Amino acid sequence: MRSVEGLTVSGLSVERSGRRLFANLSFAVPAGTALAVMGENGIGKSSLLRTIAGLLPKQQGEVGLRLGRDDDAAPLGERAHYLGHSNGLKAGLTAFDNLEFQRRWAMGDGLPPAAALAAVGLSHCAEFPAGLLSAGQKRRIALASLLTAHRPLWLLDEPATALDQPSETLLVGLLEAHLARGGLAVMALHAPLALATTVLRLGRS
């Protein structure tokens, strides 16, 4: 596959527990665009995202992120945010402290926690322990963490889970701003978002 400025996946094969999920999968996600990975439960959407993030081994193939920047040679995982089904929040820490922790852990050069909370409309929850927040509020805190460190590739597994319609609109706004800055997104989705995406539909081989 011809290399593009963006994410390139070529000839990817992944197995879990000895069962092949997909083989020889190739696609490209140009900078400034989003890819929606769709398909039935258990088909391998999360596994694909985790493989791109470097969290799961691949049997064959290549995954590369080239953006024409100085850090092109850096590990992809250091240039990506991965948001899985779990929000990755520490229940006993406040919303603010969760974001501060994640910002430091990612050596973040993005928004400070107060601004990230404001961006997802949760300034009033700053001092709440994350464990006491509602499911949708937790998801919004997880989305706020994307803003605390500039990373070009967002790997989002069903990012709209637990979000009400206004929050889903907020998510789309965050994505649009990220893509407008030349970022990329690969998302596992069951229902399309109100956002222009290319669709990769995984099926049984």
Ligand X SMILES: Nc1ncnc2c1ncn2[C@@H]1O[C@H](COP(=O)(O)OP(=O)(O)OP(=O)(O)O)[C@@H](O)[C@H]1O
Give whichever of 5 and 168 is closer to ligand X, judged by the CB atom: 168
| 3-class secondary-structure state, position 189 | coil
- According to the binding rule CB under 6 A, does residue 84 interact with ligand X? no
Rule CB under 6 A: say whether 46 interacts with ligand X.
yes
Instruction: Confirm if 186 and 35 have CB atoms less than 8 A apart.
Output: yes
Examine residue 92 and tell whether it contacts ligand X (CB under 6 A). Answer: no
Q: Are 156 and 52 in contact (CB under 8 A)?
A: no
Exactly one of 16, 66, 79, 150 binds ligand X (CB under 6 A); that residue is: 16
Residue 21 structure tokens: 């999920």
Of the residues 7, 9, 12, 21, which one makes contact with ligand X according to CB under 6 A: 21
- Figure out which of the listed residues 2, 17, 180, 191 binds ligand X, where binding follows CB under 6 A: 17
CA angle centred on 175, ends 28 and 130, rounded to 5°: 120
Site for ligand X (CB under 6 A): which residue of 3, 20, 26, 42? 42
CB of 43 to ligand X, least distance (A): 4
Contact with ligand X (CB under 6 A) among 2, 41, 68, 127: 41
Instruction: Between 144 and 188, name the residue whose CB sits nearer to ligand X.
Output: 188
Q: How far apart are CA 133 and CA 139, in angstroms?
A: 9
Q: Which residue has the tokens 């696609």?
A: 27
For position 161 contacting ligand X by CB under 6 A, the verdict is: no
Q: Is 43 in the site for ligand X (CB under 6 A)?
A: yes
Q: Does 25 bind ligand X (CB under 6 A)?
A: no
Q: Is residue 114 within 8 Å of residue 156, measured between CB atoms?
A: no
Q: What is the DSSP letter of 40?
A: S
**What is the edge-to-edge ordering of all strands in the sheet holding 198-201?**
80-83, 153-157, 184-188, 34-38, 198-201
The residues that touch ligand X, with contacts defined as CB under 6 A, are 16-17, 21, 39, 41-47, 188
